Structure 1
Amino acid sequence: MLKDKVVVIYGAGGAIGGAVARAAANEGARLFLTGRGLAPVAAVAEEIGAHAAEVDALDERAVDEHLQSVIDKAGRVDVSFNAVGIPDAGVVGVPLIDLDADRFSLPITAYSLSYFLTARLAARRMVANGSGVIMTVTALPSRAGSTLVGGYGPAHAAKEALTRSLSAELAPHGIRVVGLRPHGIPETPSMKEVFELKGAGLTWEQFQGYLASTTHPRRVMTLAEVADVAVFMASDKASGMTGSTVNLTMGSLDD
């Protein structure tokens, strides 16, 4: 589905970014993987035969210079996928009334600004070609009240709002903007971190059972399932989808 598409992934050393990179490689994409730390990105890149680079997605110059290097090598950018994450320690697990302003605003700034920078800089290259797909990942607290998540929910709500606004402006130029909203994937290290910060009184197995109990099929979504949807959304087969976030919460959140 992505044969010869030039795909840039930010946060490719993370669980979701890495899974999407592998799935995209299986579908024929030409991949340029980035992350704030090179080692985990390089490991994924070596596995699938992709390019790897150390890029801080909050550094506008670094993002811009890397995209130019992609243009120099591949001639264009077809897909920009932002899977950037930040550590949950100090953000998750603290009641809002006890959370200081800096810790509350940290995820809002980090998530929304990295998405804005990577999307804007990719879009500037895509406009010239009259096509492209810009994507990101959010989470259930963007739309549903959740305890002890600090600014995490507002951060992802901001990203979903930005997806809609970017699409409204970029669709006339042939660029689609879409998001994915999974929920509670135990395979990811971040879910283990959330459990350690929020799962007081529960075992890891009980916590996974709780997550499964909130879904319609009474199971959690897998990384592979998220990656498969990401590949489809990045492909021409999803040409009718823009300005929306795909609900992958398996019924935990009603649209």
Structure 2
Amino acid sequence: MTGVDLSGKGVVVTGAGRGIGRAIADLFATRGARVVVNDLDAEAAGSVAREVGGHAVPGDAASEAGVEALIAAARDAVGEVDVFCANAGIAGAGDVTTGEDRWAEMLDVNVMAHVRAARLLVPGWVERGDGRFVVTASAAGLLTSLGSVQYAVTKHAAVAFAEWLAATYGDRGLAVHCICPQGVNTRMLANAGSRRGILTRDTALEPEQVAGALWDAMTAGEFLVLPHPQVRDYTVRRAAEHERWLAGMRKLQRRLDHPDPEEQ
């Protein structure tokens, strides 16, 4: 796909009932796209679809059957799917003692949902030489996520999958973008508990700012979308001085384990 002319393009945004997904759906609709709004919350999906003049397709966007149904319904609503925004994700605290069911759930939503959508869409895009896949990952996928090993691991996997798509199909018509913000004023951040202070140390952004950063990256033809620009510096430091970076993470972990009452 050359440029970022979305006029008449079919766009699917998962997890679009609120937060970042909602902001992306709204922005793309203003750019002339025919937007399919997906969310598990049918009421929220319908509300956003009405606001943006799009089509609500509520339901599961993670399971194999759910992804197949979503893409089929999207094609019925807008014709060909030109852009797929794999935005739906889940978070939550967890450590090495967390059970298999939670691991499976987070892998399903945060990683396999992307894989399943790409499996259905990428071959056709490559054949016609035109398509765009957007992954909403996290700065946790470039760094880590203290307090949630499942989130850290699955977001790293989401980044890795997006990178692989870009490396493999980037010269065959597929544009790939990977969004890696820190704290964003969404329900997920509100439920972050003691980790909220770490996530917002560089200021929490509004979802619309994240959507704007995505648009800027699309315009520039850039893979990595960093709404918090300082994440680039953190990532460079992590690669260049890994031991020092890990020492800093341990220091932050100690703050989580023994919080200062004055910071509460």
- TM-score class, shorter-chain normalisation, is 0.7 to 0.9
Residue pair 1:105, 1:151 contacting (<8 A) in 2 also: no
Which structure shows the higher strand fraction? Answer: 1
TM-superposed deviation, 1:49: 0.7
Return the alpha-carbon distance in structure 1 between the equivalents of residues 78 and 103 of structure 2.
40
Letter in 2 for 1:250: P
RMSD: 2.3
Corresponding residue SS for 2:205: coil
- Whether 1:45 aligns to 2:49 is yes
Deviations 1:40-63 (A, max 9, x none): 111100111100112311232332
TM-superposed deviation, 1:160: 0.6
Worse-superposed segment, 46-55 or 115-124:
115-124
Deviations 1:42-93 (A, max 9, x none): 110011110011231123233224323433443322110011122x4xx41x
**Aligned residue among 4, 7, 31 for 2:8:** 4
Return the alpha-carbon distance in structure 1 between the equivalents of residues 155 and 189 of structure 2.
16
Q: Hey, what does 2:135 align to over in structure 1? A: 136
Return the alpha-carbon distance in structure 2 between the equivalents of residues 81 and 15 of structure 1.
13
TM-superposed deviation, 1:250: 3.4
Return the alpha-carbon distance in structure 2 between the equivalents of residues 249 and 228 of structure 1.
12
Return the alpha-carbon distance in structure 2 between the equivalents of residues 63 and 17 of structure 1.
17
TM-superposed deviation, 1:229: 1.9
Return the alpha-carbon distance in structure 2 between the equivalents of residues 47 and 59 of structure 1.
27
Residue pair 2:14, 2:39 contacting (<8 A) in 1 also: yes
Corresponding residue SS for 1:178: strand
Return the alpha-carbon distance in structure 2 between the equivalents of residues 50 and 179 of structure 1.
24
- Whether 1:230 aligns to 2:218 is no
Q: Hey, what does 1:151 align to over in structure 2? A: 150
Letter in 1 for 2:39: G
Corresponding residue SS for 2:178: strand
Counterparts in 2 of 1:222 and 1:170: CA distance versus 1, 3 Å: same
Counterparts in 2 of 1:194 and 1:188: CA distance versus 1, 3 Å: same
Letter in 2 for 1:229: A
Letter in 2 for 1:27: R
Residue pair 2:9, 2:33 contacting (<8 A) in 1 also: yes
Return the alpha-carbon distance in structure 2 between the equivalents of residues 102 and 64 of structure 1.
23
Corresponding residue SS for 2:149: coil
Letter in 1 for 2:50: E
Return the alpha-carbon distance in structure 2 between the equivalents of residues 74 and 19 of structure 1.
20
Letter in 2 for 1:78: D
Pairs within 5 Å for 1:56-71 = 56-71=60-75
Residue pair 1:8, 1:31 contacting (<8 A) in 2 also: yes
**Aligned residue among 14, 18, 23 for 1:19:** 23
Larger RCO: Structure 1 or Structure 2 (Cα < 8 Å, ≥ 6 residues apart)? 1
Pairs within 5 Å for 1:156-195 = 156-185=155-184, 187-195=185-193
TM-superposed deviation, 1:121: 1.5
Structure 1 unpaired stretches of 5+: 200-206
Residue pair 2:141, 2:155 contacting (<8 A) in 1 also: yes
Structure 2 unpaired stretches of 5+: 237-264
Counterparts in 2 of 1:69 and 1:100: CA distance versus 1, 3 Å: closer
Return the alpha-carbon distance in structure 1 between the equivalents of residues 70 and 100 of structure 2.
33
Counterparts in 2 of 1:101 and 1:191: CA distance versus 1, 3 Å: same
Q: Hey, what does 1:250 align to over in structure 2? A: 229
Counterparts in 2 of 1:144 and 1:65: CA distance versus 1, 3 Å: closer
Q: Hey, what does 2:58 align to over in structure 1? A: 54
Letter in 1 for 2:210: V
Q: What is the percent sequence identity of the aligned residues?
A: 25
Worse-superposed segment, 53-62 or 4-13:
53-62
